[in-house]
Chains A and B, each alone.
Chain A
Amino acid sequence: MTVKEAVAVGHSHSWPRLAPRLPVLVILFGIVVFFFMLDLVLGSVRIPLQSVMAILAGQGSDNVAWEKIVSYIRLPKAVTAVLAGAALSVSGLQMQTLFRNPLAGPSVLGISAGASLGVAMVMLASGSAANAFAIRQLGMGGSWLIVIASSLGAASVLLIVLAIAVRIKDNIVLLIVGIMVGNITVSLISIWQYFSEPEQIQDYLIWTFGSLGGVLGDQLWVLGAVVGFGLLISFAASKSLNVMLLGENYARSLGMSTFYIRITVIAATSLLAGSVTGFCGPIGFIGIAVPHLTRSILNTSDHRFLMPSSCLVGAILMLVCDIVAQMPGSQSTLPINAVTALIGAPVVIWVIMRNRNLNSSFS
């Protein structure tokens, strides 16, 4: 083919389409359903798919233990995994776009650190045996006290960052401020730990391992509502986030209020990352890895498409991590926070080696 012909062919091409590619979303949703079911089937006891389906359909099962396991343990855990994966991925995606930094994630504004500080305050400072006893009675991850403490911690750090964000115009400065606030928070926790009893530190450490299993009943509804609200705000910000890819100056020249979009994105991220950290403990890595994975697989920067895709990919990755953490067939489980890094890190390394476009996404 000569150059001229090539040009002619190029001209005859139809114009590219920007509308979200529905088939990809459908395929991703199918994969989510597959791993969701797998998560219900696998575990210390293997429950056949037919029984799981029957229990889900409300027909019950001959095996009462299976019914209890699926309804009260595995189903809430799988739903939590989906919610946490979607929430962390979407907040990571927004942070990376807002700060135009490939290493930004949900924890970058110190929100997770704030949540940790709240939990540390309750666990380490309470000191009184009654309090510690109450926590143990309620179960570590499932304690409302822990949830409220971590939410308050996340919210107070968020308020500090928001107050600064209102005054500072430069996003990079805001990013550094967020990291510094996070560092201060972490050092406060260290000081607290230094003056605490070993048992209390152990309780706190167990919380930092993260857990998807503690969110039950009402808590699941609360988590679902907060995550749903956060996702709605995030989806509504898609159009503006696309423009943010051009940088703040271009965004302003297009008539966009960079102030409102920043406040919106920070608020959405706090709701998403703050609530998940509150209910499940700190879960690292998903927020950084999934946006890269999604961008790389789908080869796009359009947030109207990236947002739902990140939700689905995040849910898939989180379900896979949960399946691995249960170590099917064995009685013990692994801490979820360790598994997310263990599985996610090689995935991201593979993606980067394959594409080498991690940096070009932001330069």
Chain B
Amino acid sequence: MNSAILQTKNLAIGYRMRHSGMLPHKKGSQHSVRVVADNLSLQLNEGDMVCLLGPNGSGKSTLMRTLAGVQKPMEGDMFLNGRDLNRMSPKDIAKIMSLVLTDRAVTGNLTVYALVALGRYPYTGWMGSLSPTDEAIVQQAIETTGTRNFVSRHISDLSDGERQKVMIARALAQDTPVIMLDEPTAHLDLPNRIEVMRLLKRLARQQRKAVLMSTHELDLALQAADGIWLMNFSTSDASKGSADMVTGMPEELVLDGRLEKAFERNGFEFDRHSGSFRIHHEPTATIGLFGDGPDAYWTKRALERLGYRVVTDKAVSRRVELSGTNGSRSWTFFDGDAYDPEKYTDICAVIEALKSRGA
């Protein structure tokens, strides 16, 4: 069963810009308000991992900050566990929602264990002493995130990937049904990105956490997320420059073309088959390619990179034909009647030949 733990109704997010920080703020002055996105009715369910995608400047951070209760919404309501978020005290919110931010500044002298233990802040007394229950939750968070081996190390001695896992452990120690993460995979290499994604996925599945993360990793998001929230600059004039929000299951968004549309821009195209984006190379010439299998696929990629439009048309004078089987592949390069066909046994050679021949 899926129950909504975080819900918004007709939420409008944005900024009230005050022209002078010292003067009392004048209400109703129109141009001092910038709405980033409006009419947002979103729902985050327990046990779901949702990825918030969108280009830089589309308002992802504003939405995250508003949902986290750090920034006041312009309009609309937000409900956390059925309660009005705006009426909750910071301490109550801290017991339902934990954050993992991009802020890197963490003191070097703090050990991993001490940092994770800070997650218990909303629950401990005035001196911050941990009860045996607190200790058990902290240790559980460390075990779950696989950071057990460096509990005694200092934060400054950790790699970016280890540090991110520790920050997730800290959020876990806060013991909240909702975890929000701001670009948790930024600055990480691919294995670490995947590991962090898998960890978050596991938390959603096994511990029934509602996980909301903003990310730029479209590939990983499409593979791992239960839901996608896609923010984008609006194309219609009616919305006065505020962002559009598209939500749904990743596969649904790919199949009905909404994802493609959202990222429609010059220079790259969305490949519906692979679910990834490709740089769009402006073709300057046409070349024929015949063959199949991975060799043909990667040859096509190389040719496109060189600026060719790749076709399967025998009438084109310049063409490459692949022959042979795995292990003894060969590329035959035909270039009109002026040159004899040339045979190559590796992809570099044929591309070099093409380059030297010129357009």
Contacts and interface: CB of A to CB of B under 8 A. Distances in A.
B124 interface: yes
Given A15-B151, A253-B99, A243 B90 contact: no
A354 interface: no
A120 to B, nearest CB: 29
Interface string B130-145: 1000010001000000
A236 interface: yes
Interface string B77-109: 000000000000111111101110101111111
Interface in B99-128: 99, 101, 103-111, 113-115, 117-119, 121-122, 124, 126-128
Contact of A243 (B89, B118, B149): B118
Interface stretch (A68-76, A110-118, A295-303): A295-303
Most buried by B among A10, A19, A245, A361: A245
Interface residues of B, number: 47
Contacts of A130: none
Nearest to A303: B128
A254 B135 CA distance: 17
Contact of A363 (B21, B117, B151, B156): B156
A239 B126 contact: yes
Most buried by B among A13, A18, A257, A357: A18
Contact of B121 (A167, A239, A301): A239
Nearest to A302: B114
A7 B150 CA distance: 10
A360 B95 contact: no
A247 interface: yes
B70 A301 contact: no
Contacts of B151: 15-16
B110 A245 contact: yes
B130 to A, nearest CB: 7
A362 B105 contact: yes
Contacts of A100: 105
A52 B149 CA distance: 54
A15 B122 contact: no
A300 B109 contact: yes
A340 B118 CA distance: 35
B103 A247 contact: yes
B68 to A, nearest CB: 7
B262 to A, nearest CB: 29
Contacts of A257: 90
B107 A253 contact: no
B95 A18 contact: no
Nearest to A248: B103
Given A239-B127, A246-B118, A295 B135 contact: no
A362 B139 CA distance: 26
Interface string B50-71: 0000000000000000001010
Contacts of B70: 249, 252-253
A21 interface: no
Given A15-B135, A18-B130, A239-B127, A357 B109 contact: yes
A255 B94 contact: yes
Contacts of A16: 111, 113-114, 151-152
Contacts of A361: 107-109
Interface string A202-221: 00000000000000000000
Most buried by B among A167, A245, A247, A253: A253
Interface string A281-310: 000000000000001000111101000000
A233 to B, nearest CB: 12
A179 to B, nearest CB: 19
B24 to A, nearest CB: 11
A299 B154 CA distance: 10
Contacts of A254: 94, 118-119, 121-122, 174
Contacts of B129: 19
A292 to B, nearest CB: 10
A302 to B, nearest CB: 6
B61 to A, nearest CB: 11
A252 B71 CA distance: 11
A246 B122 CA distance: 15
A246 B117 CA distance: 12
B108 A238 contact: no
A247 B105 contact: yes
A92 to B, nearest CB: 16
Nearest to B157: A360
Contacts of B154: 360
Interface string A231-247: 00000101100110111
A304 B128 contact: yes
B114 A18 contact: yes
A350 interface: no
22 contacts: A10-B149, A11-B148, A11-B149, A16-B114, A238-B127, A239-B124, A239-B127, A245-B107, A249-B70, A249-B99, A252-B70, A253-B68, A253-B70, A253-B99, A253-B101, A254-B121, A254-B174, A256-B121, A300-B114, A304-B127, A304-B128, A360-B109
What 8 A-B pairs have minimum CB-CB distances, sorted nearest first? A255-B94, A360-B108, A239-B128, A255-B91, A301-B109, A253-B99, A360-B156, A301-B110
